[in-house]
Amino acid sequence: MSDPSLPSLVTVAHGTRRAGGNEIARQITRGAGVALGVESTAAYVELSEPLLADVVAGLDSSAVVVPLLLSTGFHVRTDLPRACVDGPVVLGRPLGPDPLLAAAQVARLVTAGIEPGRPLVLVAAGSTDPVAWRDLRAASHLLADAWGTKVRTATLGGLGPRPEEVLTPDDAVSPYLLSPGLFSRRLAEQCEALSVPCADVIGPHPLVVDLVVERYRDLAAEARATA
C-alpha cells in the first residue's frame, strides 16, 4: 500500500528499442517503490514510452526523479533538467558512480564464474563529456576496491580507449551497463572474439534497488528541508 502523503518515485532510464532493456528499469522501479511504500513510475529519455517529459507533465502531486544513468553526460546535463523544469519534482544526480553499483558488479562477476584476483576492465558505453570520463574512472576505482585487483577503464564510444586496445588474455570484463542492448551485445561479441570472460550487465540487482531507495530518501529529505 502506497502512502499518498509521500512524493511519488519516478525513475528515468535512457530507453531502448529492445523490450528486455526497458523491463530492467521497470523491475528496479517496482522494487524501489514497494520498499518505499510509494507510487512509482519508470520513464525514459528516448526510444521508449513513457517519456520523462510526459510523465512530469502529467503529475498532479510532487515526485522525486532518480536517474538510472550511470554517469554524467548530455542527457544528465540537458535533457533531464529540461524535462523537469516545470514539474513539481526534485531531480537527482546520476546513479553512478557508487559503491553499491560496484558491489553489484562484483556479484555479477562471481555469478559468471570469474575467479577472484583476476584483473578487470570496466567497460562502459562512453560519452564525449569529460565529466563522464571522470565518473567512469571513479567507478573503476570503486570496483577495484570491491574486487581487490587492478581495474582499467574502456568505453565503446566517446572518450577513452576501446576494449580491444586494453584487454589482455589475463583480464576479465565487468560491463558498466545497467541493461542489455546494443552495447552489451557488441561487448559480448568482442570478448568472445578475444577469448576474454565477461560478466553480465548490472541489471535489476537488489543492491541497485537499494541504491534507488537511498537516493529517493535523500532527495525527499532535501525537498522537505527546502519547502
Q: Which three cell numbers stand for residue 93?
A: 544526480
Would you state the torsion angle of the CA atoms of residues 68, 18, 27, 44, taken in this order, to the nearest 10 degrees?
A: 40
Cα-based distances in Å from 22 to 11, 16, 18, 180: 12, 6, 7, 9
CA distance 35 to 24: 17
pLDDT at 3 over 80: no
Beta strands in 139-199 (DSSP E): 151-155, 172-176
- pLDDT tens digits for 76-96? 888 999 999 989 999 999 999
Q: Which three cell numbers stand for residue 172?
A: 576479465
Mean pLDDT, to the nearest integer, of 114-141? Answer: 96
Cis peptide before 116 (omega within 30 of 0): no
Mean pLDDT, to the nearest integer, of 56-64? Answer: 95
| Stated pTM of the model | 0.94
Cα-based distances in Å from 49 to 84, 146, 190: 16, 35, 31
Mean pLDDT, to the nearest integer, of 27-43? Answer: 97
At residue 222 the predicted structure's pLDDT band, cuts being 50, 70 and 90, is confident
Q: Are 7 and 220 in contact (CB under 8 A)?
A: yes
